[in-house]
């Protein structure tokens, strides 16, 4: 039974008991007349009712005050402590219902705040820029990427998009969509950095059909990759066309002028040279394609780098002698038995030595030095040729890049250094080039080597 009902029944019973007491006094003759008995009983009942009502009022006031205090605490956002025992009368039930509603709201707010924080974290970690303009034309949301791409100020949220988004193209497209235009996408470059190319996709905010969401993609790298691919195809076509044109021209000359044996021999030699060049080009292209596709595996075994370098120098001795070049080699004792992929190291060094011999003027010097430095095998191929102009140093490892088109060696494919770089990368190493103080280029390859097997 509820406490206020209990209290009312108790008070009524108490009043009836006092009236009954007046009646008993009347019967026992303690009072002289029924009127006095009733008056006495009613008086006592009235006093008891007053005392009871006062006690109830004080109790109600205290509880109401406690409920007001809790309400104030909740209003300040402190819902850490649960409400007290409100009691089971009407006041208690009303307070409990309100308390429950407040806690339910708090649960919803916490859940919304969690969702919002999660959304902010997702938007913040996106590489794409996202911004939302509401139907009133104010910037409602902008993530970090969009802020950086369009140089949007940190306090721009809430401001009219015309002010907040500084790019005229973006402003124009947002305006068009806000006034009922169709979803669209367009390309543009930022005012801050014209070399960066962006694509903006605009659409109405899903569900509501009002407001605009803009997603920005940075397509600079994609475009660059596409350009590299196009240049590559153009380069390959050009490199193949040159020897092909020569082969066809000399073949036609052979057909037309087949009487002079000396001319025939010369034409055939030229045809042979160009065919060899085409063969080298196709071979290098296929090798690059294999390396690109990760189809060349590393096969490591202990190798003698001194002997490997010596073998290359012997192979190239005729070319070096033809230009009267001095070729010197030095290999530290630690380079014997290093664990590398010897075939790939051979290709790296051969390419570099071939270049050094080709680009150094007659009578010049070429030096190959190999040393083990800690866990690295370091091989330097240097010459005293023309060196690499500083502006080209970062580009010589690109496919078909030649410092001076007219200086490109006749048998070269323009792919040698690109292959060298790929092979060094495959080893987990690197190749670099620098110009020597006394003139000439120095190419250095650093390759990590596996621990040498214990000698038995
Ligand atoms: P190529 O077949 O033309 O030699 P590479 O990829 O081997 O192609 O070299 C790229 C370019 O780097 C060359 O065309 C040349 O301009 C430059 N180069 C390479 N090695 C040297 C060197 N030792 N000295 C001067 N320039 C060099």
Per residue in 436-446, pLDDT (tens digit) is 998 999 999 99
Summarize pLDDT for 277-310 with one digit per residue, the tens.
999 999 999 999 999 999 999 999 999 999 999 9
How many A from CA of 408 to the centre of ligand 1?
7
pLDDT of 392-428, one tens digit each? 999 999 999 888 766 555 567 889 999 999 999 999 9
Q: Which atom of ligand 1 is nearest to the CA of 418?
A: 6
Name the average pLDDT for the chain: 89
Q: Which residue has the least CA distance to atom 20 on ligand 1? A: 355
**Rounded to 5°, angle at Cα 237 from 232 and 242:** 130
Say how far apart CA 434 and CA 316 lie, in whole Å. 23
**Which atom of ligand 1 lies at the shortest distance from residue 414's CA?**
8
The reply to whether ligand 1 has any atom less than 6 angstroms from the CB of 348 is no
Letter string b/e over residues 401-435, b meaning 16 or more CB atoms within 10 A of that residue's CB? ebbeeeeeeeebbbbbbbbbbbbbebbebebebeb
Lowest mean pLDDT across 119-123, 206-210, 333-337, 346-350? 206-210
Q: What pLDDT, on the 0 to 100 scale, is given for residue 175?
A: 93
- For residue 411, the ligand 1 atom closest to its alpha carbon is 2
Residue 276 tokens read as 């060899």
What residues contact residue 164 under an 8 Å CB cut-off, 6+ apart?
139, 142, 152, 153, 156, 157
pTM reported for the whole predicted model: 0.65
Instruction: List the residue whose alpha carbon is closest to atom 19 of ligand 1.
Output: 355
The pLDDT tens digits for 164-174 are 998 889 999 99
* Side-chain-facing half-sphere of 100: CA atoms under 13 Å: 8
Ligand 1 pocket test target in 281, 320, 394, 417 with most atoms within 8 Å of CB: 417
What pLDDT was estimated at residue 16? 77
pLDDT digits (tens, 9 = 90+) for 61-78: 888 888 888 888 888 888
Question: Higher-confidence residue: 400 or 10?
Answer: 400
**Residue of 351, 354, 394, 402 to mutate, ligand 1, most atoms within 8 A of C-beta:** 402
What is the SS3 assignment for the chain? CCHHHHHHHHHHHHHHHHHHHHHHHHHCCCCCCHHHHHHHHHHHHHHHHHHHHHHHHHHHHHHHHHHHHHHHHHHCCCCCCCCCCCCCCHHHHHHHHHHHHHHHHHHHHHHHHHHHHHHHHHHHHCCCEEEEECCCCEEEEECHHHHHHHCCCCCCCCCEHHHHCCCHHHHHHHHHHHCCCCCEEEEEECCCCCCCEEEEEEEECCCCCCCEEEEEEECHHHHHHHHHHHHHHHHHHHHHHHHHHHHHHHHHHHHHCCCCHHHHHHHHHHHHHHHHHHHHHHHHHHHHHHHHCCCCCCCCEEEEHHHHHHHHHHHCHHHHHHCCCEEEEEECHHHEEEEECHHHHHHHHHHHHHHHHHHCCCCCEEEEEEEEECCEEEEEEEECCCCCCHHHCCCCCCCCCCCCHHHCCCCCCCCHHHHHHHHHHHCCCEEEEEECCCCCEEEEEEEECECCCCCC
The whole-angstrom separation of Cα 419 and Cα 410 is 18
Closest CA to 337 of 424, 449, 431: 449
Looking at ligand 1, which residue's alpha carbon is closest to its atom 13? 402
pLDDT tops 80 at residue 6: no
* Per-residue pLDDT at 451 exceeds 80: no
What integer pLDDT is reported at residue 452 of this predicted model? 61
Could you give the CA distance from residue 167 to residue 154 in angstroms, rounded to a whole number? Answer: 16
Return d(Cα 62, Cα 47) in angstroms, integer. 23
Both structure tokens of 301: 């075994």
- Cα–Cα distance, 128 to 280 (Å, whole number): 43
Which comes out higher in pLDDT, residue 125 or 3?
125
Decide: 284 in ligand 1 pocket, CB within 6 A.
no
- Per-residue model confidence (pLDDT) at position 456: 47
For ligand 1, is residue 138 a contact (CB within 6 Å)?
A: no
User: Angle, nearest 10°, between helix axes 342-359 and 305-315?
Assistant: 40
> How many A from CA of 275 to the centre of ligand 1?
21
In ligand 1, the atom with minimum distance to the C-alpha of 356 is 23
Look-up: residue for tokens 């992929």?
341
> Ligand 1 atom 7: the closest Cα is on which residue?
416
Pairing of strands 184-189, 197-204: antiparallel
Distance 354 CA to ligand 1 centre (A): 9
Please tell me if the CB atom of residue 368 comes closer than 6 angstroms to any atom of ligand 1.
no
Q: Please state the rounded mean pLDDT for residues 340-344.
A: 96
Q: Ligand 1 pocket, 408 CB below 6 A?
A: yes
Distance (angstroms) between ligand 1 centre and the Cα of 68 equals 87
HSE at residue 190, side-chain half, CA atoms within 13 A, is 20
């Amino acid at each position: 039974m509820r406490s206020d009902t209990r209290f009312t029944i108790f008070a009524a019973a108490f009043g009836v008991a006092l009236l009954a007491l007046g009646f008993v006094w009347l019967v026992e003759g303690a009072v002289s007349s029924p009127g006095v008995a009733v008056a006495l009983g009613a008086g006592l009942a009235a006093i008891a009712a007053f005392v009871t009502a006062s006690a109830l009022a004080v109790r109600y006031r205290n509880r109401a005050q406690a409920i007001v205090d809790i309400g104030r605490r909740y209003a300040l956002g402190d819902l850490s402590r649960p409400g007290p025992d409100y009691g089971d009368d009407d006041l208690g039930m009303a307070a409990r219902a309100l308390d429950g509603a407040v806690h339910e709201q708090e649960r919803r707010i916490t859940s919304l705040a969690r969702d919002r924080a999660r959304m902010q974290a997702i938007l913040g970690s996106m590489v794409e820029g996202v911004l939302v303009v509401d139907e009133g034309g104010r910037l409602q949301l902008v993530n970090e990427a969009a802020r950086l791409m369009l140089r949007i100020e940190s306090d721009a949220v809430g401001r009219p998009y015309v002010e907040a988004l500084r790019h005229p193209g973006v402003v124009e497209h947002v305006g068009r969509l806000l006034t009922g235009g169709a979803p669209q996408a367009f390309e543009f470059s930022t005012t801050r950095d014209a070399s960066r190319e962006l694509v903006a996709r605009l659409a109405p905010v899903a569900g509501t059909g009002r407001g605009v969401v803009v997603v920005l993609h940075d397509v600079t790298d994609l475009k660059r990759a596409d350009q590299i691919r196009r240049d590559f195809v153009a380069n390959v076509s050009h490199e193949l066309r040159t020897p092909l044109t020569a082969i066809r021209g000399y073949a036609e000359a052979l057909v037309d002028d087949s009487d002079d044996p000396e001319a025939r021999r010369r034409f055939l030699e030229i045809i042979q040279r160009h065919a060899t060049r085409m063969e080298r080009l196709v071979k290098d292209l296929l090798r690059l394609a294999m390396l690109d596709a990760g189809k060349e595996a590393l096969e490591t075994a202990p190798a003698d780098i001194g002997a490997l370098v010596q073998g290359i120098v012997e192979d190239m001795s005729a070319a070096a002698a033809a230009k009267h070049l001095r070729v010197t080699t030095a290999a530290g004792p630690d380079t014997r038995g290093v664990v590398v992929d010897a075939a790939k190291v051979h290709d790296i060094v051969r390419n570099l030595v071939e270049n050094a011999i080709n680009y150094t003027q007659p009578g010049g010097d070429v030096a190959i030095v190999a040393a083990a430095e800690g866990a690295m095998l370091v091989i330097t191929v240097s010459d005293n040729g023309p060196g690499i102009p500083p502006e080209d140093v970062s580009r010589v490892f690109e496919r078909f890049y030649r410092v001076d088109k007219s200086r490109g060696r006749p048998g070269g494919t323009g792919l040698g250094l690109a292959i060298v770089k790929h092979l060094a990368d495959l080893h987990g190493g690197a190749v670099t080039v620098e110009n020597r103080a006394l003139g000439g280029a120095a190419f250095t390859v650093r390759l990590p080597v596996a621990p040498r097997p214990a000698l038995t």
